Chains A and B, each alone.
Chain A
Amino acid sequence: MSLISRSRPAPPPALADPRRPARSTQGLRGWFRDPRNLLLAVVALVVAYLAIVPAATMGVASLQSQFLSTGPVHWTFRHYTETLGTADFWTLVGNSFGYAAATAVISTVIGFGLAYLVARTDTPAKFFAQVAALVPLIIPGILNTVAWALLFAPHTGALNVLLRDVHLPAFDIYSLAGMVLVQSMHVTPVAFLMGTAAFSQMDSSLEEAALASGAPPLRVFRTITARLIRPAVLSAVLLMFVQTISTFEVPQLIGVPGRTFVFVSRIYNALQAFPTDYGTVGVIGVFILVVATLGLWLSRRLSGPGAGVQTISGKGYRPTVTELGRWRWLGLAAFVLFFVVAVALPLLMLVWSSLLPGYEPPSWSALHHLTLSNYREIWHTPGLVDSVRNSLITAVLAGAVVTVLSSLVAYITVKTKARGRGLLDGLATIPLAVPSVVMGVGILYWYLSMPLPVHLYGTLTILVIAFVTIGLPYGLRYIVPGMAQIKDELEEAAAASGASWPRTFWRIYVPLLVPSLAAAFLYTVIVAFREISAAIFLYTQGTQVVSVTIYQQWSNGSYPVVAALGVVIVVFLAMIVAIVRLLTRRFGLNRQ
């Protein structure tokens, strides 16, 4: 026998190995020598920094007597007792939660439903569907809301007039239902992006097993597909909920007129006082953050350990497409319906408004007044070209940074067993719960006060930082499910083939994650163009962006001109979305 065999007799139950040396030789320094760990540590620090700045500012603001004032300040709980102690604050809570919950559920159901149609069935005209599903997100929030207000104005709204003509009850947009309608249409694309990311990367063998066991397709969907997709669904609901609570357009333009007040209304009131009551703003922000953190913890609990089942393996990766037969035209019809309601209607209203010198509701007589003068006037809008250029630069940069950061953070949370990874995921998600207004103030304050070697105030960089902070939680939500569905063995095989970790990441993970990466990139680009609440605190003479231009025009300019501007921006962004989709189609896994 050529093997040296010396099996040790069974040792006593104790585990201690007397030869165990001091671990210090292998400790911190050795750990950092691995480029992978160094990179991941840097990423973790960057994300923590980005997340903590606005959240901490919010906390400090809530505890200081007069944040950002010029006199002496001292620490106090006054803001908490004053705000949380009033009865009408809790009315606000009820309204806000009702509004946000309804929006979250509706937009997730629609978004994931549409995503299923695109990713897992043979619904025709997929490319159109994918672009169409994103367009509601592209329309600037203010204009989208105003368009709906004009469409459904209780007496003169174009759609209400039609409804009354066919003896149906009119719909009062200035109500909670109206708020939910508009906001749902607006955020469904976010749920759609998350849904496609999750669905299109599912290995269908699990569903096929169920089908083969004799379960009808509907039952398979209910019991198998729905369970597999559950973590993504819960994530989406939470995201929509928190986002809805923090955005201002619908509450201010539809809620206030209808006297449905939510958190954001209170924040806006506080901002109007002089000196600005940052204390109240901070308290509400902290409240939202606590709620969002609880929600995040809850959704984790309900999803089960790990962010999803690993269903992309190296073997037999063939996601099936359910053939709907005749029903696939119904799928297309669903898309068309969604497109008409969520996109075409407000867009048409915008176009209509942009073609009139002074606004009037749609009517035959109004057709005589149509003109292109507003479009000509746009070109004379000061700094339009500059603001578009600024938006483009900040959008692309922010998109790239978010994509890179989120994929690395997703790797840490999903693929490593590092102890702090739950905390990191939580940190990266915090910006979600910080209302954009607070984000803007927080970032502004920090970068003005911090003794940094570089002066970032007044540069495009500070805007990029804001957009990255806002977009990062979404990027994570798009990428984590994709990352989780890739089997560990694919990475191990690369390492065993001699590839260093960066090479493995670039050549194995990135190509497999292209749909998720594209979603994260696109979403951040759209955020950068649309984001106003934070940007309005951070722009200066040379760094005005498109969202600010639109806001200025809408505050005290000409409505038809800003409508024309909105139409131009929508077309521009739709082109970008289409281009990115085209590019990633070639590189994605689903070469359909």
Chain B
Amino acid sequence: MIEVRGLTKRYPGRTVTRNAVDGIDLEIPEGKLVTLLGPSGCGKTTTLRLIAGLERPDAGEIRIGSRLMCAPAEGVFVGVHHRPIGVVFQSYAVWPHMTAVQNVMFPLQSGQKRMGRTEARRRAMEALEMVGLAEFADRPAPALSGGQQQRVSLARALTREPEVLLLDEPLSNLDAGLRDRVRDEIRSVQQRLGITTVFVTHDQDEALAVSDEVVVMDHGRIVERGQAQDIYRCPREEFTARFMGISNSLPGTVQEGGQDMAEISLAHGRLRCLTPAAAPVGSRVNVFIRPESLRLSRKDSSGRGWKGTVEFSIYHGDCWDYHVRVGDTLLRSRMYREKVGLAHGDPVFVVPEEETAIAIADKIAASDGAVADKDESWAK
């Protein structure tokens, strides 16, 4: 289990009004995989490196398994090589002058409790078997493919049975097909071993696929956290919603309030939406609708459809994305169908699904002067 309190790291040498990591608190429960998710520059990698001990924080505390790892205020800093961690780097960081098994043996022969060569090799072979690379054990590292190297890296990180596993965007450098396989491998190994894991990524699909919990970060702060399904189904912050790819956003006003759900009146009609936070009647909200929740049809059979014109379409193999102009907004609709048959300029009705859109309070319009984090520089 990892416990982080008030962790702060400044950008070195510059005086800016934000920090790389800005006073975050975090707790990673024992045996769970928590993902730090966010655009580049949000501080997720820095946080991971701080936990690993590859960087020193300016303030805060980090505990791994109830042992204090660092606390600048008290002058405590446990060096990287003394921390009970395993790290997988984005570029694999597999040593080119060693074979696969030598790479995996290295941690067993370092540190205070060193193993003899035979014992270390045995344990390393076990780790390699776990990731399915036993037959490549004596191959020189540069002769392995990218995916194989990443798995070696994983085996190496786990071989001395650390308390905590840290992965820094481990899948970014892999090609798409490989990415899924390695991702599954990582998740399966993690669950099998029950090891506390922190996973850093900018890809929300990855985050959803492997995580027990997701922590969304932006500009050095935690925006939102929760279980993967909750984050996906009903994000509480606009940033999260946009980052998770919920690309359609329409302004609206709350007509009828409720506990979890509210009736929102939009420009083109009314819609029943999820409300993560209590929304007083009459308040302004932004309604986020997933592309999958917008159905298209030529005829407005339900009467709730919004009239629009198809602008262009993108084919993804298993689905079609249609960009439809409704009024002065461009909406994106995703249809999982073989043939849809709509072309540029076709008139079409857009039918939103009820009770799936998310209504989030519009902070800018809100009148009580809370600081509006409306920075548009989200990379996604």
**Are A and B close enough to touch in the complex, i.e. CB under 8 Å?**
yes
Question: Across the interface, which residues of B come within 8 angstroms of A498, CB to CB?
Answer: 81-82, 107, 110-111, 160
Partner of A492 from B34, B82, B83, B89 at Cβ < 8 Å:
B89
A487 to B373 CA separation, bound complex (whole angstroms): 36
- Provided the pairs A2-B29, A15-B10, A313-B91 are in contact, do residues A496 and B96 lie with their beta carbons within 8 angstroms? no
A495 to B111 CA separation, bound complex (whole angstroms): 9
Question: Across the interface, which residues of A come within 8 angstroms of B86, CB to CB?
Answer: 496-497
Contact of A512 with B54 in the complex, beta carbons under 8 Å: no
Q: Mark A476-495, 1 if CB is under 8 A from B, else 0.
A: 00000000000101101111
A9 to B23 CA separation, bound complex (whole angstroms): 10
Residue of chain A at shortest CB distance from B107: A497
A497 to B115 CA separation, bound complex (whole angstroms): 14
Question: Across the interface, which residues of A come within 8 angstroms of B82, CB to CB?
Answer: 498
Partner of B110 from A15, A19, A503, A512 at Cβ < 8 Å:
A503
- Provided the pairs A492-B87, A493-B93 are in contact, do residues A8 and B111 lie with their beta carbons within 8 angstroms? no
Contact of A17 with B59 in the complex, beta carbons under 8 Å: yes
A5 to B34 CA separation, bound complex (whole angstroms): 13
Question: Across the interface, which residues of B come within 8 angstroms of A497, CB to CB?
Answer: 81, 86, 106-107, 110, 156-157, 160
A526 to B17 CA separation, bound complex (whole angstroms): 56
Partner of A11 from B10, B23, B157 at Cβ < 8 Å:
B23
A487 to B173 CA separation, bound complex (whole angstroms): 16
Contact of A34 with B79 in the complex, beta carbons under 8 Å: yes
A507 to B89 CA separation, bound complex (whole angstroms): 19
Residue of chain B at shortest CB distance from A6: B25
A314 within 8 A of B: yes
A495 to B157 CA separation, bound complex (whole angstroms): 11
Contact of B142 with A316 in the complex, beta carbons under 8 Å: yes
Q: Which residues of B22-66 have CB atoms within 8 Å of chain A's CB atoms?
A: 22-27, 29, 32, 34, 52-54, 58-59
A17 to B91 CA separation, bound complex (whole angstroms): 35
A3 within 8 A of B: yes
- Provided the pairs A10-B373, A496-B52, A496-B86 are in contact, do residues A487 and B110 lie with their beta carbons within 8 angstroms? no
Residue of chain B at shortest CB distance from A589: B97
A279, chain B: closest CB distance, angstroms: 45
Residue of chain A at shortest CB distance from B215: A3
B226 within 8 A of A: yes
> At the interface, is chain B mostly helix, strand, loop or mixed?
mixed
Contact of B149 with A314 in the complex, beta carbons under 8 Å: yes
Q: Mark B100-115, 1 if CB is under 8 A from A, else 0.
A: 0000001100110000
Q: Mark B213-241, 1 if CB is under 8 A from A, else 0.
A: 10100000111011100000000000000
Contact of A589 with B106 in the complex, beta carbons under 8 Å: no
A508 within 8 A of B: yes
Contact of B95 with A315 in the complex, beta carbons under 8 Å: no
Question: Across the interface, which residues of A come within 8 angstroms of B156, CB to CB?
Answer: 493, 497
Question: Across the interface, which residues of A come within 8 angstroms of B54, CB to CB?
Answer: 492, 495-496
Question: Across the interface, which residues of A come within 8 angstroms of B19, CB to CB?
Answer: 15
Question: Across the interface, which residues of B come within 8 angstroms of A316, CB to CB?
Answer: 142, 146
Question: Across the interface, which residues of B come within 8 angstroms of A589, CB to CB?
Answer: 96-97
Contact of A492 with B93 in the complex, beta carbons under 8 Å: yes
Partner of A20 from B59, B90, B93, B371 at Cβ < 8 Å:
B59
Contact of B110 with A511 in the complex, beta carbons under 8 Å: no
A499 to B105 CA separation, bound complex (whole angstroms): 12
How many chain A residues sit at the interface, stated as a range, is 35 or more
**Chain A-chain B contacts (Cβ-Cβ < 8 Å), number:** 155
B76, chain A: closest CB distance, angstroms: 9
Question: Across the interface, which residues of A come within 8 angstroms of B106, CB to CB?
Answer: 494, 497, 499, 507
Question: Across the interface, which residues of A come within 8 angstroms of B96, CB to CB?
Answer: 312, 314, 317, 512, 589
B116 within 8 A of A: no
Q: Mark A278-321, 1 if CB is under 8 A from B, else 0.
A: 00000000000000000000000000000000001111111000
Question: Across the interface, which residues of B come within 8 angstroms of A4, CB to CB?
Answer: 25, 27
Q: Mark A238-272, 1 if CB is under 8 A from B, else 0.
A: 00000000000000000000000000000000000
A268 to B80 CA separation, bound complex (whole angstroms): 56
B8 within 8 A of A: yes
- Provided the pairs A1-B226, A3-B225, A7-B221 are in contact, do residues A499 and B93 lie with their beta carbons within 8 angstroms? no
Q: Mark B67-98, 1 if CB is under 8 A from A, else 0.
A: 00000111101011111011101111111110
Q: Which residues of A103-119 have CB atoms within 8 Å of chain B's CB atoms?
A: none
A496 to B55 CA separation, bound complex (whole angstroms): 12
A451 within 8 A of B: no
Residue of chain A at shortest CB distance from B111: A498
Q: Which residues of B137-161 have CB atoms within 8 Å of chain A's CB atoms?
A: 141-142, 146, 149, 153, 156-157, 160
Residue of chain A at shortest CB distance from B85: A496
A25 within 8 A of B: yes
A497 to B108 CA separation, bound complex (whole angstroms): 8
Question: Across the interface, which residues of A come within 8 angstroms of B72, CB to CB?
Answer: 21, 26
Question: Across the interface, which residues of B come within 8 angstroms of A15, CB to CB?
Answer: 10, 15, 17, 19
A30 within 8 A of B: yes
Question: Across the interface, which residues of A come within 8 angstroms of B225, CB to CB?
Answer: 1, 3, 5
Contact of B73 with A19 in the complex, beta carbons under 8 Å: yes
A216 within 8 A of B: no
Contact of B23 with A3 in the complex, beta carbons under 8 Å: no
A500 within 8 A of B: yes
Partner of A3 from B52, B74, B95, B213 at Cβ < 8 Å:
B213
Q: Which residues of A496-543 have CB atoms within 8 Å of chain B's CB atoms?
A: 496-501, 503-504, 507-508, 511-512
Residue of chain A at shortest CB distance from B82: A498
A512 to B94 CA separation, bound complex (whole angstroms): 12
- Provided the pairs A317-B142, A489-B93 are in contact, do residues A10 and B25 lie with their beta carbons within 8 angstroms? no
A63 to B64 CA separation, bound complex (whole angstroms): 62
A507 to B105 CA separation, bound complex (whole angstroms): 12
A453 within 8 A of B: no
Contact of A21 with B73 in the complex, beta carbons under 8 Å: yes
Partner of B223 from A7, A318, A492, A507 at Cβ < 8 Å:
A7
Contact of B371 with A500 in the complex, beta carbons under 8 Å: no
A13 within 8 A of B: yes
Question: Across the interface, which residues of B come within 8 angstroms of A317, CB to CB?
Answer: 96, 142
Contact of A493 with B95 in the complex, beta carbons under 8 Å: yes
Contact of B95 with A490 in the complex, beta carbons under 8 Å: yes
A589 to B81 CA separation, bound complex (whole angstroms): 26
A19, chain B: closest CB distance, angstroms: 6
Partner of B75 from A20, A30, A34, A417 at Cβ < 8 Å:
A30
- Provided the pairs A10-B373, A13-B17, A495-B81 are in contact, do residues A314 and B91 lie with their beta carbons within 8 angstroms? yes
Q: Which residues of B153-176 have CB atoms within 8 Å of chain A's CB atoms?
A: 153, 156-157, 160, 166, 173
Residue of chain A at shortest CB distance from B3: A4
A316 to B142 CA separation, bound complex (whole angstroms): 6
- Provided the pairs A5-B225, A500-B110 are in contact, do residues A25 and B75 lie with their beta carbons within 8 angstroms? yes
Question: Across the interface, which residues of A come within 8 angstroms of B221, CB to CB?
Answer: 7-8, 10
A179 to B205 CA separation, bound complex (whole angstroms): 69
Question: Across the interface, which residues of B come within 8 angstroms of A507, CB to CB?
Answer: 106
Contact of B91 with A315 in the complex, beta carbons under 8 Å: yes
A412 to B169 CA separation, bound complex (whole angstroms): 29
- Provided the pairs A496-B87, A508-B95 are in contact, do residues A315 and B149 lie with their beta carbons within 8 angstroms? yes
A318 to B141 CA separation, bound complex (whole angstroms): 11
Contact of B8 with A17 in the complex, beta carbons under 8 Å: yes
Question: Across the interface, which residues of A come within 8 angstroms of B157, CB to CB?
Answer: 496-497
Question: Across the interface, which residues of B come within 8 angstroms of A25, CB to CB?
Answer: 74-75
Q: List, sorted by A's number, 14 A–B pairs whose CB atoms are closer than 8 Å.
A: A8-B25, A21-B74, A314-B95, A317-B96, A487-B91, A490-B93, A492-B54, A494-B110, A496-B54, A496-B86, A499-B106, A500-B110, A507-B106, A512-B97
**Nearest 9 interchain pairs by C-beta:** A498-B111, A497-B107, A499-B110, A496-B87, A493-B93, A25-B75, A314-B93, A489-B93, A495-B80
What would 8 more interface pairs be, CB under 8 Å, given A3-B26, A500-B111? A6-B25, A10-B371, A315-B149, A316-B142, A496-B52, A496-B166, A498-B160, A499-B81
Mark B residues whose CB is within 8 Å of A: 8, 10, 12, 15, 17, 19, 22-27, 29, 32, 34, 52-54, 58-59, 72-75, 77, 79-83, 85-87, 89-97, 106-107, 110-111, 141-142, 146, 149, 153, 156-157, 160, 166, 173, 213, 215, 221-223, 225-227, 370-371, 373
